[in-house]
Structure 1
């Protein structure tokens, strides 16, 4: 056997059987190990904020809140006016709860309003792209209901950073690239471009980046808490006093004044009426593992639907990232995402989504029968889950025409916007960070906060960067009757934290950034561990793939049927088989995430942490 033949054989074995087949498999980043606590997020400094809170005696919820606050202050693909959603395992009730802190469309945000401005969808940028701020409320409710420390303690790292921190190159260079957009909005220009008029107008990497207005806003929240405590209020009541100051007090008034000044639609009533929901998540069982997701106001049920479909196939026998494996997952994901594109929306706003039918195992078996094992199907359509919950579908006429509508939209997209694949993928992967925390008491938190990323409109003297989530709505019910924009309604977002239990105990907490790719990457990460025996760090770094066949949740909501992103390590014979199946392939060196995760080792009473080698994500453990 020649050396070249041996090398090909080894690569083939690696692709088919996976990294677990090789003893002492090396990863590019070391796994984390912990006995007491673990904090992982999108930036090293923000992970340090979580560690600081653990050292003060906080629990995983306190630490998660501090990391969200820090990542917002660092503009880690999100800002303070964005949205937060979380899954929390409460060791005292032994239940998983969901946190819904997604903002809503403001007064006047109707399909007619956006059409009158010549828009096919709400805009990607600017004051009209913003839903009401959700992240401050999400942090405050999580902290009040499930944390231990004071708001003063938890916000201290973020306040210090707002006073000034050494900005990292990734964010500083992004500001420079987006400076022309930022110049459109006066308060964004003042904060983001400290060297206005010079060749480089953004901060330099390593420069102390100061946000005095944001620091003042965060101190106002702490002042409200401390004043309430002086009045004899409880810890929880004092934190809710800070909540009221943000959404009903002087902070709210400045947000509304400045948004209206810059052409937005917010009213004081929009902020005062908005609320955070503590809700029951949805779940499915996969081979004895309970997998939890937030419901249809995000895309989370997509992963559960896909797992239900994949139960009908022997994935392990196919081999890790074989052509047959990739094809099966690609088709199953597209079936679930087609349902997302038609049936998912705000569950607190009529009509009611057919969640029971969508997550039915019987429905999944029927969807699985549609997979052609020999060819990609570029015309996958939403199914009809209503009979699987004993009801008749009220949208059958829209469903029947959905394929025609999609083809018309794709044709229109290609005529109106001959965008490159690079531009398309930038929208597809837009936004987000992730926050994962756990402690020895048993608290586990998985969060995917987002919104208000650069370039964001900053709301006056609050320093709060506003969301861009309005673009995830549609204006035409023919696309999705559950996700048509309306005042007071939440857009169906991509954000999707994950928790899994085994035998009633936490097994895995995991989340990833990356827009419409999130549940695709999380699904493959989960299967890497459950089906192929990878460690949590191996699974975060493993070669994933992405479909672009679903409608993007951003920009012009484009779709690229049959297009697949593959890792450069995929061998030629796998590529050849996929080409025969009708795939248009594109390649990248890293296709895994960035994924952050904690796996709970019950045998040893410890935690394993994984943080992807894709990006600046980082973890600290003790």
Structure 2
């Protein structure tokens, strides 16, 4: 669910002595609101306590970190923890047997008939935020099966057991129950959603109450069908891996697919059985950069992940530690570096499997970052910061120079507008995150999402459809690499992180929060690397949030110069930021909630961190 932010506009401005603020703040954060987790054998952290327990249950059965991550993914989908089974799954996995970081791409694609002309013909500037026409093909069932088949050890039946128990009925938590009630008028548009989410139709409160047993019979039958397909394949002599892929095939090519497509089309959606049958999970190479001896891995340009890597490359050209933690100078430098990287994201990122080819080599080059760093004014926000030209750093000529000039001209006269609740809800549109590790060396970082409340459920599957179509653009002038077309993946915000030091896991981290995700993860990483925080200090420590990039949701708005800072920020820092041209809002909690695992090589143990707002939770052993 999107995080709501009550923002107070502050109209003041001053100078700051950075070192004093750094020392003062570091003294404040020695005590954290949540205790750090410690584990020797395994660690399971995710967005809900019950889902973390599902991971712990699978670890206790002898599963590895991949098995546990799959169990947590299944549980969070069943709990509608800002996603459902019809959403998308993105993961980074460290395989200790090969010493390689693997990227998993289980993002759905635009269905047949989903074209710019189709949506423009309905009077839309972007695909809608909700409903059947917001859906790409479901990716999470395939992503879970692929992770489990390729790198897990247990059966699908074992891993889905906690989620199946929950589908039979579990005490729903207040966050999801109240979200259903708030969104009930939207939910009532769709008959299958109405039947699942509103058990008290016609009463004053139509959603379930917190603590009430919430049952999902159709979803339970779908999960049983997956397990049935696996078990039947095993009886026929198929291997464990083949049996799990039999379940995969039943979802995308069998009776589940037929009902999903029927239910989508009945409600006005575009997804066909062929769309489902032709979709495939992709196992890819991640992208990475080295920052101060640490290799930071992200998924490729079909996510926003490379923007964090670009920002790290830019920040290498500054002495952040000398500026002082969360001094005005530090905040300003982060904001400006993020502006440049995210402007590149907004113009150059898209699905690398579909032409044109993204200039990712140039975007991630250190030389390009040095050029971009020189564009930062140390005393003033650059409200019209736009994408650069990375093509010369690939020894190529930019084929989109005309579009690039038009893009920058369109941004040359920014019009400030307020950070209203609708915009903030879109910008921070949430998901969940999953972190798992084990003593044998497996590490998993996942940022699944899609199909959040209010979700349109596809027929009698119990599966909520994705809302990720809205991240496409319909006009190449907005981003020539991310224009909608059937079979293409939208550029998403979902962005797990994994950092390696000396060839071994150093930090595994992910966060909910839409366009703020890589902003949060960047600052968490710097908190550990530059300022020596423990992982729990790092995930709780106040962040800044920039709104100068274009939102990936709703109307894709941008708010030049708008910044959120923590309520703990001293007045003199606020005044200095105001002098630099910022429109400042404050919030009590500005980080995450981030979930993370730090690998303590000195003692051979895990440190788990989980954000101090929301319901994120972890268990270690």
TM over 0.5: same fold? yes
What aligned pairs does 1:497-576 form with structure 2 within 5 A after superposition?
497-576=496-575
Deviation at 1:423, TM superposition (A): 1.5
- Tell me which residue corresponds to 1:602: 601
Q: Shift in Å at residue 390 of structure 1?
A: 1.1
2:460 alignment partner in structure 1: 461
Q: Deviation per CA, 1:563-610, whole angstroms, max 9, x where unpaired?
A: 000100000000010000000000100001000000000000001000
Equivalent residues of 2:493, 2:515 under 8 A apart: yes
- The residue that corresponds to 2:205 in the other structure is 200
Give runs of ≥4 in structure 1 deviating > 6 Å.
Answer: 11-14
TM-score, normalized by length of structure 1? 0.96
Gaps of at least 5 residues in structure 2 are: 1-16
Residue by residue, what CA displacement relative to the aligned partner does 1:139-160 show, whole Å, maximum 9, x if unpaired?
0000000000000000000000
* Secondary structure of residue in 1 paired with 2:536: helix
Q: Deviations over 1:66-124 (max 9, x none)?
A: 00100000000001100000000000000000000000000000000000000000000
Q: How do 1:477-516 residues align onto structure 2 when only pairs under 5 Å count?
A: 477-516=476-515
Aligned counterparts of 1:495 and 1:95: Cα–Cα separation in 2? 21
Q: What does the per-residue CA deviation read over 1:194-243, in whole Å, with 9 as the maximum and x for residues that have no partner?
A: 00000000000000000000000001000000000000000000000000
1:153 aligned to which of 127, 152, 158 = 158
Residue 16 (structure 1) aligned with residue 22 (structure 2): yes
Instruction: Report the 3-state secondary structure (helix = DSSP H, G, I; strand = E; otherwise coil) of the residue aligned with 2:301.
Output: coil
Separation (CA, whole Å) in 1 of partners of 2:51 and 2:20: 35
Shift of 1:293: 0.2
SS at match of 1:291: strand
In structure 1, the partner of 2:380 is 375
The question of 1:365 aligning with 2:370 is answered: yes
TM-score, normalised to structure 2, is 0.96
Counterpart position of 1:307: 312
RMSD: 1.4
For 2:408 and 2:18, locate their aligned partners in 1 and report how far apart those are by CA, in whole Å.
Answer: 39
In the TM superposition, what is the alpha-carbon distance from 1:308 to its structure 2 partner? Answer: 0.1
CA distance in 2, matches of 1:121, 1:187: 26
Cα contact 2:18–2:329 (8 A) shared by 1: no
Query: CA shift at 1:25, angstroms?
Result: 1.6
Contact 2:51 2:76 in 1 (8 A): yes
- The whole-number CA distance in structure 2 between the counterparts of 1:282 and 1:18 is 37
SS at match of 1:529: helix
Note the C-alpha offset of 1:403: 2.1
Task: Count the aligned residue pairs.
Answer: 605
Q: 1:15 to 1:172 in 2, by over 3 A?
A: farther
CA deviation digits over 1:343-379, x for unaligned, max 9? 0000111111001000000000000000000100100
Matches within 5 A, 1:26-175: 26-175=31-180
CA distance in 1, matches of 2:254, 2:32: 50
Q: Counterpart of 1:609 in 2: which secondary structure?
A: strand
Q: Does the CA-based 8 Å contact 2:18-2:328 persist in structure 1? A: no
- Correspondence 1:284 to 2:289: yes
Q: 1:17 offset after TM fit, Å?
A: 3.4
**Structure 1 counterpart SS, 2:52:** helix
3-state SS of paired residue (1:33): strand
Is the CA contact (8 Å cut-off) linking 1:44 and 1:618 kept in structure 2?
A: yes
3-state DSSP of counterpart to 2:388: coil
The answer to whether the 8 Å contact 2:387/2:408 transfers is: no
Paired residues of 1:541 and 1:592 also in contact (CA < 8 A): yes
